[in-house]
Chains A and B, each alone.
Chain A
Amino acid sequence: MPAVQETIDQVKAIDVDQYKYGFVTDIDSEKGAKGLSEETVRFLSAKKDEPEWMTEWRLDALRRFRTMEEPDWARVDYPKIDFDALYYWAAPKSVEGPKSLDEVDPELLATYEKLGIPLREQEILAGVEPKNRVAVDAVFDSVSVVTTFKEELKKAGVIFCSISEALREYPDLVKKYLGSVVPVTDNYYATLNSAVFSDGSFVYIPEGVRCPMELSTYFRINEQNTGQFERTLIIADKGSYVSYLEGCTAPQRDENQLHAAVVELVALDDAEIKYSTVQNWFPGDSQGKGGIYNFVTKRGDCRGKNSKIAWTQVETGSAITWKYPSCILRGDNSVGEFYSIAVSNGYQQIDSGTKMIHLGKNTSSRIISKGISAGRSSNTYRGLVSAHKKASHTRNFTQCDSLLIGQECGAHTVPYIESKNASAVFEHEATTSKISDDQMFYCLQRGMNEEEAVALIVNGFVKDVIQQLPMEFAVEAQKLISISLEGSVG
């Protein structure tokens, strides 16, 4: 991934709208029919050669979706989405099922190169081997274009492929776990996703295996008026470990684009899943035009005893973010963690947080949320920590810090705590601060310019969360945060 200065220079060169990934890939693309209908769902399912039960599953979801109301409790504001004006399927014509790297359209390879995503495993294998290798599943609009290092992972027993492929190759595994963490009718967007999800990643780590490399999925929305509905399912069997990264970008367009994903994680006894996201969807331009509507349901189920799930997210993009990665702490002694940095600038609206549902005994959770608001944006932390009445000796520590830059942004903290067991120990700390004029002057007096000063102070503010990210992502995330805040002072 490019070096700091290079990134900053490139971004500056683009526009006042400091979005680096706003380019469009010019590629022949096939789209399904417009509009949300049974026909659309059947078309999707057929495109993917899905088993009969899957088609039925989707149709059932669609029927239920028809009976549901769009939720309005979040502190976000947007015009009603016309689901019939959207396409639910768009795929580069050159892609027909998963391919090896040599068969991938060069235009697509060039796109990922431009995005800084390493897809070329051959080069890596032949040349100098970097210390940390990352296997990538690249999802472009509605399809997975390629998954790297598949063979090598297979040797370790790890399954890493697109969910479409998993439905064909490992239907029993998928059937067993799909919808078991986020039920079909969980919420409006999750139900929609269940009906029309196009692609996404599937991971299975067998018992006792420590996944030999980082796994990652990179989502790219390219087509216009196309919703992206991906579905990710990760299962860590007993005593296994996996670290998974998710990244996303989209071109700069005047229209809003819809992204409604579902991610389900299952950790069995003694297993651990670390899920990190760097979300950088197009946030809209400086006037608040365009940008992604990001309505995402992410949930992890600590199903086994002593299991652990940690969510780390860096949210810098999207016009609207509606997202609450959560943990169900079902197994005794299981651990849930949520580390979040949410940066909003311009006209962005973020309503994000987590839920820690303590069901098992001795379960513990930790929430560190750092919200940074600038421009005219609105940034809300919304969280729930609950203990079931049979869940004895549960513990939670929550820390929510907000940093405001400028006068026109807003930050809100909405923590809910529900303890039905008297032995629960839940702690909550919250702070709101501003970068003071005195701090700015002090930094300037030492020779920093305003942007350098803000970047330094902000990096200090988010440090606790950045430390949770895998190394390569930590550096990138820091850069991304600085870039997102460019033009927020002065």
Chain B
Amino acid sequence: MLEIKNLHARIAEDGTEILRGIDLKVNAGEVHAVMGPNGSGKSTLSYILAGKEDYEVTEGEIIFHGENLLDMEPDERAAAGVFLAFQYPIEIPGVATMEFLKTAMNAQRKARGQAELTIPDFMKLVRAKAADLNVTMDMLKRPLNVGFSGGEKKRAEILQMSLLEPSLCVLDETDSGLDIDALRIVSEGVNKLRSPERAMIVITHYQRLLDHIVPDVVHVLSKGKIVKTGGKELALELEKNGYADYVGEAA
């Protein structure tokens, strides 16, 4: 489904190189974890997948569903099935969460040539999925992410993900700022979305999340390169020994 080949990228503004040759292949149905120390380029990778303008790809390519992802605009990528759950979700003042959800869903439907959802159909969908994630009606009426607690923000991200039904889910530090109960709720929400047609890239600093969302493959990212790939046991090893070994290897 997704193939990243020899991806090099730098910050557009000052030319600092962040990603230095990433190769990653993710098949439908698989969950890949990307772990690594702070500053290793995990969020940068997720932003480049989503099409953020701050970065410039200097080498390599990304093929998604057989198409060149880097040629597509961010909204086209979204409509094609790329979803990014942000490490720091953005506040949209004045726009009720519900309104935002409706606009996003209909925008994607329009881009795919589907009819807009009727209000009752939309409400039915939102109610069902919101309940699973403990998202209350009150929260849906509040402006998106404005004054939301860390946990509320992450639950709102996963709610959007489950409504938009992307084929590639990229979760950037979805566990940060969550207490243990919230972590369980969010993980259950994510696990519900696991399916043979869908792939996931779960970015995390800690192994804790991977107890709940069990990955098929684990990668270690250090200084903009994947320095080690293994099974889920790699995460446990990292938990025990820390990143020190791999940081050294990359240098």
Contacts and interface: CB of A to CB of B under 8 A. Distances in A.
A448 interface: yes
A222 to B, nearest CB: 37
Contacts of A60: none
A450 B74 CA distance: 10
Contacts of A437: 53
A446 B94 contact: no
B107 A439 contact: no
Given A441-B74, A444-B74, A446-B164, 19 more contacts: A438-B90, A439-B90, A439-B91, A444-B75, A445-B74, A445-B75, A445-B77, A445-B84, A445-B86, A447-B108, A448-B107, A456-B100, A456-B103, A459-B95, A460-B93, A460-B95, A460-B143, A461-B93, A462-B94
A447 B78 contact: yes
Interface string B178-190: 0000000000000
Contacts of B79: 447
B169 interface: no
A57 interface: no
A153 interface: no
A442 B92 contact: yes
B99 interface: yes
A457 to B, nearest CB: 6
B164 A444 contact: no
A404 to B, nearest CB: 14
Contacts of A452: 103, 107
B1 interface: no
A463 interface: yes
B164 A442 contact: no
A441 B107 CA distance: 15
Nearest to B91: A439
B90 A448 contact: no
Interface string A397-425: 00000000000000000000000000000
Size range of the interface on B? 20 to 34
The 9 closest A-B pairs by CB, nearest first: A460-B94, A460-B95, A447-B108, A446-B104, A447-B78, A444-B74, A442-B90, A448-B107, A447-B107
B106 to A, nearest CB: 9
Contacts of B53: 437, 441
A10 interface: no
Contacts of A122: none
A449 interface: yes
Contact of B103 (A441, A448, A462): A448
Q: For B51, B75, B78, which residue has the most chain A Cβ atoms within 10 angstroms?
A: B75
Contact of A447 (B92, B93, B143, B164): B164
Contacts of A433: 93
A437 B74 CA distance: 13
Contacts of A450: 75
B142 to A, nearest CB: 12
B140 to A, nearest CB: 15
B75 A457 contact: no
A468 B92 CA distance: 22
A424 to B, nearest CB: 30
B197 interface: no
Nearest to A455: B103
Interface in B139-190: 143, 160, 164
Contacts of B71: none
A444 B90 contact: no
B199 interface: no
Interface string A443-479: 1111111101000110111110000000000000000
A441 B52 contact: yes
15 contacts: A444-B51, A444-B74, A445-B51, A445-B77, A446-B78, A447-B75, A447-B107, A448-B103, A448-B104, A449-B75, A452-B103, A452-B107, A460-B95, A461-B93, A463-B94
